[in-house]
A and B are shown apart, each in its own frame.
Chain A
Amino acid sequence: QVQLKESGPGLVQPSQTLSLTCTVSGFSLTSNSVSWVRQPPGKGLEWMGAIWSGGSTDYNSALKSRLSISRDTSKSQVFLKMNSLQTEDTAIYFCTRGTPFAYWGQGTLVTVSS
């Protein structure tokens, strides 16, 4: 069955770079897009960006200057890197498949704090 699972550090210091991994199973990254979505505590959902089945990427314009999404199809993994983190980047980070988002990971909480 389709599964996605996020992993990464729970705590990142301000100004540092966040690196997250989404490991997928039950589908191929060469046939499906994967997006990253985040949700600050007590707030709504924000689409961050996506990597398409062909490998090209698309980003939320508000994050584009800080964000990079890549993948390793041989490992069924999608990566998120975002630099210059600030406290307002504290959030649960989800990865999802396709559009609409019928499949979601459980999310991983990232806290930006010194």
Chain B
Amino acid sequence: NIVMTQSPKSMSISVGDRVTMNCKASQNVGNNIAWYQQKPGQSPKLLIYYASNRYTGVPDRFTGGGYGTDFTLTINSVQAEDAAFYYCQRIYNSPWTFGGGTKLELK
């Protein structure tokens, strides 16, 4: 089975900063990656699909990139409401494995 590894596990940044988090697949998954944001007590929300496509209504400060085994989620000019957990997921072909998540905290 494909393993999705996210790094770092947590990060603390300031409002207005730019942040990049990583997701590494143990095998080539092409562009079949999605990113989700989850805040405490809420269901996850889809941000990015097929590696770089922003989902409806997602602010353009969120950008996804990568192909094959290495993927990134970048947030430009982080806002206070971006404090959350972020998960990558292999999509299209099952199993639809999730990464372990990255916790984004605001200083």
Interface residues of A (CB under 8 A from B): 35, 37, 44-47, 50, 58, 60-61, 94, 99-102, 104-107
Contact = CB atoms under 8 A, between A and B. Distances in A.
A90 B85 CA distance: 20
Interface in B1-43: 1, 34, 36, 38, 43
Contacts of A100: 34, 46, 49, 89, 91
A44 B96 contact: no
A13 to B, nearest CB: 26
A45 B42 CA distance: 13
Contacts of B100: 44
Given A101-B34, A102-B46, A61 B95 contact: yes
A46 B99 CA distance: 9
A73 to B, nearest CB: 21
B101 A45 contact: yes
Given A94-B44, A104-B44, 13 more contacts: A37-B98, A44-B85, A44-B99, A44-B100, A45-B98, A47-B89, A47-B96, A47-B98, A60-B95, A61-B95, A101-B44, A106-B43, A107-B43
The DSSP consensus for interface residues of chain B is: loop
A35 B96 contact: yes
A99 B96 contact: yes
Contacts of A101: 34, 36, 44, 46, 89
Given A104-B44, A106-B43, A99 B87 contact: no
B43 A104 contact: yes
Contacts of A46: 98
21 contacts: A44-B101, A45-B38, A45-B89, A45-B98, A45-B101, A47-B89, A47-B96, A47-B98, A50-B96, A61-B1, A99-B96, A100-B34, A100-B46, A101-B36, A101-B44, A101-B89, A102-B46, A102-B49, A105-B43, A106-B43, A107-B43
Interface in B41-56: 43-46, 49, 55
